[in-house]
Structure 1
Amino acid sequence: MEDMMPLMTRATERTAAVVRAVRPEQFGAATPCAEFDVKALVSHLEWVAEMFESLARDGASVEQGPYAGDFPERAERTLAAWSRPEAWEGISPGMGLPKTALAHMYLVDMVVHGWDLARATGQEYEPDPEAVARALDFAGQMVEIGREHGAFGPPVAVPEDAPPFGRLLGLIGRDPAWRG
C-alpha cells in the first residue's frame, strides 16, 4: 500500500486534470479507446472510480450509469477508500481477485485512460514514470487474461527501444502514434 498510494494518487490527479479541461463540444470526438467517444470515456472513468471505491470497501462490482460529470469527486472518494489499510487485505468479494491486483487494475486505467482522453482532446499528458513502470509490469503479467476479458486489445507493434509508456500502450492494444 505504501508504494502504491502515491502512484494511484498522482495518476488520478493527472487524469482528473485532463477530465476537468474537456469542453462539452469535444464530447463526440473519437478516442484511442475505439469503443468510446470522449463523453463515453469520461463516463467510463466515472464508473471505474465508483467501482474501485466499492471494491476497496469490500462492496460489489457496480454497473455503469449514465454520464454524470463528476469524475474528479468520485476519484477523490476512490482514493480515500484505498487509503484505508484494510482496503489492501485479502480477496475482493466483488471480483474474486486479490485487492492488490485491483489496485493495479485501477492504476492501469488511470494512466492509460488519462492518455486516451488527453490525446482525443488535444491536451498535454505526461504520465508519472513510476506509475508507468508499475502499470507496465502488471499489464505484462495480466495481458492475456485482460484480453480474454476484453480489457485489453490486440497488441500494437512498437519499436523495441520505445519508452516504457509507449510499450505499455502497445502491449494493451493502443497505438502510441494515435491522432484524432
Structure 2
Amino acid sequence: MEDMMPLMTRATEQTASLVRAVRQEQLGLPTPCEKYDVKDLVNHLEWVAEMFASLARQEAPAEQGPYAGDFPERAERTLAAWSRPEAWEGVSPGMGMPMTSLAHMYLVDMVAHGWDLARATGQEYAPDPETVARALSFTEQMAEKGRQGGVFGPAVAVPDDASPLDRLLGVTGRDPAWTP
C-alpha cells in the first residue's frame, strides 16, 4: 500500500486534471478507444472510479451509470477508499482477485485512459515515470488475461527503443502514434 498510494494518487490527479480541462465542444471527439468518444471515455472513467471505490470497500462492483461530469469527485472518493489499510487485504469478493492486483488495474486505467483523453483533446500528457513503470510491469504480466477478458485489444508493435509509456500503450492494444 505504501508504495502504490502515491502512484495511484499522482495518476488519478493527473487524469482528473485532464478531465477538468475538457471543453463542452470536445465531448464528441474520437478517442484512441474506438468505441468511445470523449464523453463516453469520461463516463467510463466515472464508472472506473466508482467500481474501484466499491471494490476497495469490499462491496460488489458498481454498475455503470449515465455520464455525470463528476469524475474528479468520484476519483477523490476512490483514493479515500484505497487509503484505508483494510482495502489492501485479501481477495476481492466482487472480482475474485487479490486486492493488490485490483489496485494495479486501477493504476493502468488511470494512465492509459489519461493518455487516451489527452491525445483526443490535444492536451499535454507526461505521466510520472515510476507510475508508468509500475503500470507497464503489471500489464506485461496480465496482458493475455486482459485480452481474453476483452479489456485489452491485440498488442500493437512498438520499436524496441520505445518509451515505457509507448510500450504500455502497445501492450494494451493502443497505437502510440494515434491522432484524431
TM-score, structure 2 normalization: 0.99
Matches within 5 A, 1:1-180: 1-180=1-180
Question: Take 1:22 and 1:62, find their aligned partners in 2: how far apart are those partners?
Answer: 25
**How much does 1:24 deviate?**
1.0
Q: Which amino acid is 1:31 matched to?
A: T
Structure 2, unaligned runs of 5 or more: none
Per-residue deviation, 1:162: 0.4
Q: How many residues align?
A: 180
Tell me the CA shift for residue 171 of structure 1: 0.8
1:52-109 deviations in Å (ceiling 9; x for gaps): 0000000001211000000000000000000000000000011110000000000000
Q: What is the Cα deviation at residue 157 of structure 1?
A: 0.8
Q: Give 1:25 deviation, angstroms.
A: 0.6
> What is the one-letter code of the residue matched to 1:62?
A
- What is the TM-score of this pair, normalised by structure 1? 0.99
Aligned residues with identical type, % of pairs: 77
Distance 2:56 2:139 in 1: 20
**Hey, what's the Cα distance between the residues in 1 that align with 2:24 and 2:146?**
31
Backbone CA RMSD of aligned residues: 0.5
| Aligned mates of 1:171, 1:25 — CA distance in 2 | 31
| Superposition misfits of 4+ residues, deviation over 6 angstroms | none
Query: Per the alignment, in what secondary structure is the counterpart of residue 14 of structure 1?
Result: helix
Task: Give, in angstroms, the shift of residue 4 of structure 1.
Answer: 0.1
Give the Å deviation of 1:3: 0.2
